[in-house]
Structure 1
């Protein structure tokens, strides 16, 4: 039951997402949402995967994403809280993201990741 002192505490650590262009995604998540790289697997100039502050893991998978980008993605969306929502949305306008019909705080990256942004 919720509220019991003995209930285990749980929290989401990260969401792993396959992306076609890992360099573009690293730059986007850092520039638009302030999510800096905290860990890299592989050489920094060509990482196989990275973990970003805030719980996103990006996995380089250009061969898979090209097939999936036009299909229904396996993750419905990723909801992210960001300080300064309006400023983040303004920064996102400079990137190749698509607005989604759910509202102005919904974006889709070129790799098909749907993002729902909330103000902290």
Structure 2
């Protein structure tokens, strides 16, 4: 039996509408069937003017090896509309440091929308 490590990420091009400004920002989003929430890069969210709402309780972020992430706890959330292939959906995302990607959509979004992936 062989185990293959796939290096390919599944990304979709979506529009993210800033509800406060009515402006749609195109971006690539990572589909992560293992994620249990929707996440947005906090720096990018601030750059496009998304209003951040402080959480009542911060959420610690752990790495795969169980150590605390150097980016710190999630302390904010924000609201926006995701547009994909003519469908619009208002979502709530937790703001954190994502690095090279602006947005991560979780398994519930993937299950609900079941996009065709080439």
Give TM class, smaller chain: 0.3 to 0.5
Higher relative contact order (Cα pairs below 8 Å, separated by 6+ residues):
2
> What TM-score does the superposition give when structure 2 sets the normalisation length?
0.33
TM-score, length basis structure 1 = 0.32
Report which of the two has the higher share of helix: 1
Structure in which a larger fraction of residues adopt strand:
2
